[in-house]
Structure 1
Amino acid sequence: MAMNKQARLFALCFFLYCILCSPSCECSSPEEKYYIVGVNTFLIEEGRDFNAPSRSPSKPPVQVGGLGRDKYLANRIFSHVPNSTNLTSSPLETNAFSAPVSSRSEMQGPEYTVTVSIGTPALEQLMGIDTLSSLSWIQCKPCKGCTSNAKCTFTDTNSLARGSEGDYITDTLQVGENTFEEVYIGCAYSFTQSRKLATSGRSGLGRGPLSLVSQKADGQFSYCLPNYLSARATGSLNLGKDSIPSSVKVYTPIQKEPKFASSAYILGLEGISVGGQRLSVNMQVPGALPTITYIHTVVMATQLVKPLYNALRASFEEKMKTYAPAVKPASPFGDFQPCYQLSNITSVKIPIVTLHFKGNANFDVPAVGTLLQVSSDVVCFPFSPSPNDAVNVIGDVQQQGITVAFDNLNNRIGFGSGSC
């Protein structure tokens, strides 16, 4: 009896400790892992809108050296540049340099951006962060199908190669307080796309030899993406030698897949847990191609192959019935479900979703990536079924507020706790 009282007292103290954490608290016991989250954590700030999620990309980015979904430029340019893989210089051992990251709410979700300056005299450009692009590119005058007002004009003397949709150029690039000469950049004159951009181009951070990371950052960079529903939140993009903070202690090796985009950062996803309980599901889809998981900053929400998504959603929904029985269900929001009403409550207990990667790298999805507010009093589970039978994508919503590190020198990706 004494032991039972002691156990109950410990449980009560543990619960009180968790409930007093603010704005959210990660709690665990030998059997379960959960957050107790203040409802204000999910608040959409005035002036920010949330729109229905998209199911794109419709196909995996299998084009070698291409931009994947944004393949309207690089494929054409690369075909006109002989021996393009030999154009990059040797590692510069550049000291770490950084730039602030902001977000812009778009038609299909967030676009995380950095401001850079290109050319002499320098012209400021707002460029989206893209971890799949193997080439940085901007819109140049004249430009058919471009959506941004910020465009550059280059003379033919700057052009290395003329493609059917753009030029391949070198110019000066300024990131933060650092200026780099002879940076290889794509210059688009015409393209078509399904997504309306608020930026003037993309900052290519992929694994290709012509990406900004390979050219000027010694193959290393890290970022912290802010909550895109907050107009005031600011994150950071850190590039170059020693750009990976000491808070990153968990790493998983970068995988190779010859038939997939060579610029993609592929991870070995071995399993998923919900509330500390591992899902019992085959990570390899029977009869399909080898399942690939890559991490991306342009895809909004994490997409999982259907058997894995169905198991994750069912487990989360079942856990919520136990963790938050008083929370009322709400109608689905596009692909996002289950959804819940948070009116008349101040906090909610939610199970922690943990992604298990090779190398014993366990990544707890942050609270704001586990439930996403889509209206004044409704939150939804922001995962969706993948449109591809054998491709998982770790989207940017699940990466908000943590440090993600890309270490190409040591062929690994790391995750760090903390906030932007």
Structure 2
Amino acid sequence: MAMNKQALLFALFFLLYCFLRPPSCECTTTEEKYYIVGVNTFLIEEGRDLNAPTRSPSEALAFQEVGSEGADLLITHLNVASNSSWRDVLTQGLQRDKHLVNRILTHNARSSPLGTTAFSTPVTSGRELQGPEYTVAVSIGTPALTQLMGIDTLTSLSWIQCNPYKDCSSNAKFPMDTNGLAQGSEGDYITETLQVGDNTLNELHMGCAYCFTPRREYATSGHLGLGRGPLSVVSQKAGGQFSYCLPNYSSVNAKGSLSLGKYSIPSSVKVFTPMQNEPQFATSAYILGLEGISVGGQRLSVNMQVPGALPTITYIDTAIMATQLVKPVYDALRSSFEEKMKTYAPAVQPASPFGEFKPCYQLSNITSVKIPTVTLHFKGNANFDVPAVGTLLQVASDVVCFPFQQSPNDAVTIIGNVQQQGITVAYDNVNNRIGFGPGSC
């Protein structure tokens, strides 16, 4: 009896701790799994939004070196969109998602692995670039020229903008290939020197494009290909291994990091799921076996394979913002989350949907909110708890939405970068596995 009382007191103390601890806490009981989150966790930092003063290019592109054993490639924010609202940024990001997903689903990428010491670099959120892209700063060529490049886990060939380049934006239907280059455009296949912090990668094979839609001043000038193919940076120069921690999209102060090389997978990553192979899909993609989803600790009773469709493919992508699920799974997830929010946070008022993001909630006049944890269950008993900031996303002043979408394809699910914020994702091509662990950003 004494033991039962002791267990009961411990459980009550733990729950009280979760309710009082700022700004967030993940709590688990035998039947429930949820976060208690301070509402400020979701909100864009006051006075540091997209209308804040612009940083200089030198500040934005500065490296953070961490000694002779490696360098940190920074995943950071650039503030160059002085006349855009946060709502505009999200809208443009979702439009970009649609373009990318349509391109991905209609073309095949090419890929496979090879490659030797560990090095890393800071990673920046594309929040201030008016889009969902995460970026790193690298130096290319001799003499070295610092460039911002979007990190891309779907494609393999890295590419940069050549000079001079042609404006392709006048033709809205100009087709793009799987490396993000305009099909049939002018460009070169080059061998260049890439400097990552204090590490020099000689004779890196990459592309140089003369024709693509121009980007804004100081915005990204290309992509750093991290796919599974033999032409990726990972395969050519990093021994087939890398990991990253993507910073909170709503914070201009958060810094993430991208680590590449033999020792780039931290010991804190202990849960792995095997990579899947699907020759008919983009062979450079990192495909995982998604077996189920839980909301608040309860498994959804939904078939992860759409009846009558091709076997569902799930891949993880740093370039796509919102996670996109096949219709039956998306419908079940959204319905379950909405029902649990009615129980967990009855005082929270509903708000109008933001595009395809729904449900949405008004968080004014409260200081914290209880939300159910969304858990993705992958093959190999690899369970991935979506962070609180990937479960609700601010879309307007004091309004947050459930940032998941229905996939436009009934056989393809995409794990987007919003749901990957603040955790470590590790890619081990040598052993054909992907791991998840606690983040450091």
Q: TM-score, normalised by structure 1?
A: 0.86
Letter in 1 for 2:436: F
* Larger mean Cα displacement after TM superposition, 106-115 or 178-187: 106-115
Amino acid at match of 1:30: T
Instruction: Give, in whole Å, the separation in 2 of the partners of 1:62 and 1:194.
Output: 24
Across the aligned residues of Structure 1 and Structure 2, the Cα RMSD in angstroms comes to 2.6
Candidates 423, 433, 441, aligned match of 1:402: 423
2:103 and 2:302 mapped to 1: Cα distance?
A: 24
- 1:353–1:370 Cα contact (<8 Å) kept: yes
> Are positions 1:257 and 2:278 aligned together?
yes
Deviation at 1:296, TM superposition (A): 0.2
1:39, distance to aligned residue in structure 2 (A): 0.8
CA contact (8 A) 1:366 1:398 kept: yes
**329, 333, 339: which one aligns with 1:308:** 329
The answer to whether residue 34 in structure 2 is matched with residue 31 in structure 1 is no
Report whether the alignment pairs 1:168 with 2:189.
Answer: yes
Match of 1:362 among 371, 378, 383: 383
1:299 alignment partner AA: I
* C-alpha contact (below 8 Å) 1:60/1:391 kept by paired residues: no
Deviations 1:324-376 (A, max 9, x none): 00000000011111010111111100000000000000000000000111122
What whole-Å deviation, never above 9, does each CA across 1:95-146 have from its counterpart, x for those lacking one? 2101111112268732110000111000111000000111000000121137
2:19 aligned partner? 19
Q: Does 1:143 align with 2:187?
A: no
- Structure 2 distance, partners of 1:246, 1:270, is 25
Residue aligning to 1:371: 392
Matched, 1:113 2:157: no
Which residue, 319, 344, 354 being the options, matches 2:340?
A: 319
Q: Which residue of 2 aligns with 1:122?
A: 144
Quick one: distance in 1 between partners of 2:6 and 2:262?
52
CA 1:140/1:217 → structure 2, altered by over 3 Å: closer, same or farther?
Answer: same
- Structure 1's 124 and 294: CA in aligned 2 closer, same or farther, altered over 3 A? same
Change (3 A) 1:319 1:288: same
> Are 1:224 and 2:268 an aligned pair?
no
1:419 deviates by 3.0
Identity of aligned residues (%): 75
Please, which moves more after superposition, 168-177 or 55-64? Answer: 55-64
Alpha-carbon offset, residue 6 of structure 1: 7.1
For residues 178 and 107 of structure 1, the distance between their equivalents in structure 2, rounded to whole angstroms, comes to 27
Relative to structure 1, the CA distance from residue 403 to residue 281 in structure 2 (aligned partners, 3 Å threshold; closer, same or farther) is: same
TM-superposition CA deviations, 1:370-396 (whole Å, max 9, x none): 011112201110000001111000000
Residue matched to 2:235:
214
Q: Partners in 1 of 2:214 and 2:411 — Cα distance? A: 24
Partner of 1:243: 264
2:411 equivalent in structure 1: 390
Between the aligned partners of 1:341 and 1:288, the Cα distance in structure 2 is: 38
The aligned counterpart of 1:99 is: 121
Counterpart residue number, 1:156: none
Residues 1:31 and 1:14: Cα distance change in structure 2 (over 3 Å): same
Partners of 1:396 and 1:268 in 2: how far apart?
Answer: 18
Range that drifts further, 51-60 or 172-181: 51-60
Structure 2 equivalent of residue 47 of structure 1 = 49
* 1:359/1:108 CA distance change after superposition, 3 Å: farther
* Structure 2 letter corresponding to 1:316: F
SS in 2 for 1:223: strand
Distance 1:278 1:36 in 2: 20
Count of residue pairs the alignment pairs up: 384
- Where in structure 2 are there 5+ consecutive unaligned residues? 51-85, 170-182
User: For 1:37, what is the secondary structure of its paired residue?
Assistant: strand
Tell me how far 1:12 sits from its aligned partner.
Answer: 3.1
Q: Distance in 1 between matches of 2:106 and 2:433?
A: 21
**Which residue identity is paired with 2:157?**
L
Change (3 A) 1:115 1:196: closer
- Alpha-carbon displacement from aligned partner over 1:215-272 (angstroms, at most 9, x marks no partner): 0000000000001221111100000011000110100000000100010000000000
- The offset of 1:58, in angstroms, is 2.3
Residues 108 and 195 in structure 1, CA contact (< 8 A), matched pair in contact too:
no
CA apart distance, 1:164: 4.0
Contact 1:38 1:348 in 2 (8 A): yes
- Residues 1:384 and 1:317: Cα distance change in structure 2 (over 3 Å): same
SS in 2 for 1:389: coil
CA deviations 1:9-52 (Å, max 9, x no partner) are 45532321111323211101110100000111112023242422
Distance in 1, matches of 2:217 and 2:307, equals 36
TM-score by length of 2: 0.82
| In 1, Cα distance between equivalents of 2:184 and 2:204 | 18
Please say if residues 358 and 401 of structure 2, whose CA atoms lie closer than 8 Å, have aligned partners that are also in contact.
yes
The whole-number CA distance in structure 2 between the counterparts of 1:24 and 1:6 is 26
Letter paired with 1:118: I
Aligned AA (1:137): W
> How do 1:271-350 residues align onto structure 2 when only pairs under 5 Å count?
271-350=292-371
Aligned equivalents of 2:297, 2:137: Cα separation in 1: 40
Distance 2:416 2:131 in 1: 11
Judge conservation of contact 1:338–1:381 (CA < 8 Å) in 2: yes
Partner of residue 58, structure 1: 102
